[in-house]
Chains A and B, each alone.
Chain A
Amino acid sequence: MIIFIVSLISGIISGMGIGGGTILIPALIIFFNIKQHIAQSTNLIIFIPTSIVALYFHTKQGNVVKDVLKNLIIFGIIGSIIGSFLAVSIKSDMLKKMFGIFLLIMGAYEIYLSKKEKAHPKQM
């Protein structure tokens, strides 16, 4: 039951445009003691159906910019192959520490953004 609540909250946060996986992955690891690789694959796989639905609406509204799309996907796939190959080759404890460092950077970035939003609130 508690897993439903945690992922509901992380879903709400990602829907609001904050984090997403950067909240869900540490939550799964810290609260449920799930292995690093498993938490990461969970986040990758759940993104697939969620993004298909979101993309359907965005495409209809014409928000997807076509001219850079193809090249970003091609180079993105090259990067994905390198990154995933590295991830599945690294031991879980090591990957967890690397992810922790990544979280520190992302957390600092969110705090920086929060100060910017406070200084210049968006138009409602």
Chain B
Amino acid sequence: MKKSFKVALIGILTGMCNGLFGAGGGTLLVPSMNHILKIEQHKSHATAIAIILPLSIISSIFYISKNMVDWNLTLKVVISNSIGGFIGAKILNKFTDGTLKLIFGIFMIIAGIRMVFFK
């Protein structure tokens, strides 16, 4: 497969996922860049942020134009989420044995089952 085709496919899937679910673009984009486009892990991570930023702006416009936004909630979340993000980045390298990923993977599975099968 030609590289330009791979890039187009990765881009479209990332954008669709980010727009449809409001999340997960990075989870798709970082390993794709790393394994398919052969870009180093930390560079993939940084580049993914530069790509998902404009995509999130575009998607936000759609949700805002349909009035599907709660600004009061968004403001509350943005403040504590950024403080948390800063703390998380600082302690990043202290947990590398996979335990945290396992815990949150299980959380996602439970939440997923609840959302699919229960009201």
Contact = CB atoms under 8 A, between A and B. Distances in A.
A binds B: yes
Interface of A: 3-5, 7-30, 34, 37-55, 58-59, 61, 63-65, 68-69, 71-88, 96-104, 106-111, 113-118, 121-122, 124
Contacts of A88: 62-63, 66, 68
Contacts of A59: 46, 50
- State the majority secondary structure of interface residues on B: helix
A104 B104 CA distance: 12
A29 to B, nearest CB: 7
A79 B74 CA distance: 24
B45 to A, nearest CB: 7
Interface residues of B, number: 93
11 contacts: A7-B84, A38-B69, A41-B64, A52-B53, A58-B49, A71-B8, A73-B51, A79-B11, A80-B59, A100-B112, A111-B102
A100 B63 contact: no
A45 B64 CA distance: 10
Interface of B: 4, 7-27, 29, 33, 37, 39, 42-47, 49-64, 66, 68-70, 73-74, 76-93, 95-102, 104-109, 111-117
Given A3-B80, A17-B88, 11 more contacts: A3-B76, A9-B84, A15-B88, A25-B23, A72-B7, A73-B55, A82-B16, A98-B20, A99-B21, A107-B105, A115-B102
Contacts of B115: 26, 29, 96-97, 99-100, 103
| Top 8 A-B pairs, shortest CB-CB distance | A15-B88, A11-B84, A79-B15, A83-B19, A21-B23, A75-B11, A40-B22, A107-B108
Contacts of A39: 22
A48 B46 contact: no
Contacts of A79: 11-19, 55
B80 A4 contact: yes
B39 A68 contact: yes
Contacts of A44: 18, 22-23, 56, 59-60, 63
B68 A114 contact: no
Given A43-B22, A45-B60, A69-B51, A58 B46 contact: yes
